[in-house]
Amino acid sequence: MTKGEITGYIDVAQVVLYAFWIFFFGLIFYLRREDKREGYPLVADRREHAPILNFPPIPAPKTFLLQHGGTAMAPSGRVDPTDIKAVPVAGWPGAPLTPTGNGLLDAVGPGSYALRAETPDLTLEGHPRIVPLRADPHFMVASADPDPRGMAVIGADRLVAGTVTDVWVDRSECLIRYLELTLATGGEQQTVLLPMNFGIVDRRRRVVNVDALLAGQFADVPRIAGPDSITRREEDRVMGYYGGGTLYAVPGRVEPLL
């Protein structure tokens, strides 16, 4: 063989194709293992088949350095709580679950949420990311937009639930995350948060319409501990409550459309 004539004796295109296949298989294997760092092992309805690992196996634990200090390990080896406040509607595997109590508070279906940390989400500077306007004078409602403060909040039953008293902004994204409202309960004042994506501001009528809840159901919105900050777990609870209302606020919403 003449020096440099390796391509004359080896099918280079076929070798490259085989090398690509090996690389692609290794890539898929790696990605499938990495995406099992959260949510595995699976817990089956039939306990004799749990836990479910599937192929490829779960990767070895890896320690991640968190942005604002501390570490987190994944996979953590933690199995999520199984005391779900819901029961299957039928006996066959995979049957839908129905809440056993208050569907807005039972954290099932559209009201379910992740168990994030009881610490506020932070900005790059290490300050609470979501705060009311009263806590940060650098933010304001744009003059071209309707200011929701002072507007009445109307539930799905077209009754007044309360009045907007402040606006909570995301200092990293520069947008409104929540409306703070005082409930119209007559006696002592109760303050709850309304996620902005669940409210529709009617500039002309100066009201905020909320279809997820009835007016009386705002009284059970999960409260937050701090007056000027909200933890990630509290965010999930509040969002889960309104999410649950989209299906469980009234019995008719659970029924099929057809």
Please name each of the domains of the chain with its CATH number. 109-254 (3.90.50.10)
Contact between 97 and 90 (Cβ < 8 Å): no
Listed in sequence order, the residues at least 6 apart from 239 whose beta carbon sits closer than 8 Å to its beta carbon are 113, 195
Query: What pLDDT is recorded for position 126?
Result: 86
The DSSP line for 186-207 is SSS--EEEEEGGG-EEETTTTE
* Mean pLDDT split into 10-residue runs, the chain, 258 residues: 64 90 96 86 65 81 81 74 78 83 88 87 90 93 92 95 95 94 78 95 95 94 93 95 94 79
Q: How many CA atoms lie within 13 A of 204 on its CB side?
A: 0
* Model pLDDT for residues 62-105, shown as the tens digit of each residue: 888 877 677 888 887 666 556 778 888 888 877 888 888 888 99
58 alpha-carbon distance from chain centroid:
24
Cβ pair 162, 150 in contact under 8 A: no
Asked whether the beta carbons of 233 and 116 are under 8 A apart, the reply is yes
Q: What are the backbone dihedrals phi and psi of residue 102, each rounded to the nearest 5 degrees, phi first? A: -85, 110
Q: What local confidence, expressed as pLDDT, does residue 213 receive?
A: 96
Residue 84's identity, in one-letter code, is I
Structure tokens at 107: 């954290």
pLDDT of the residue at 77: 65
- Report DSSP state, residue 76: -
CA dihedral 104, 109, 114, 118 (to 10 degrees): 10
pTM value is 0.79
Give me Rg for the CA atoms of the chain.
26
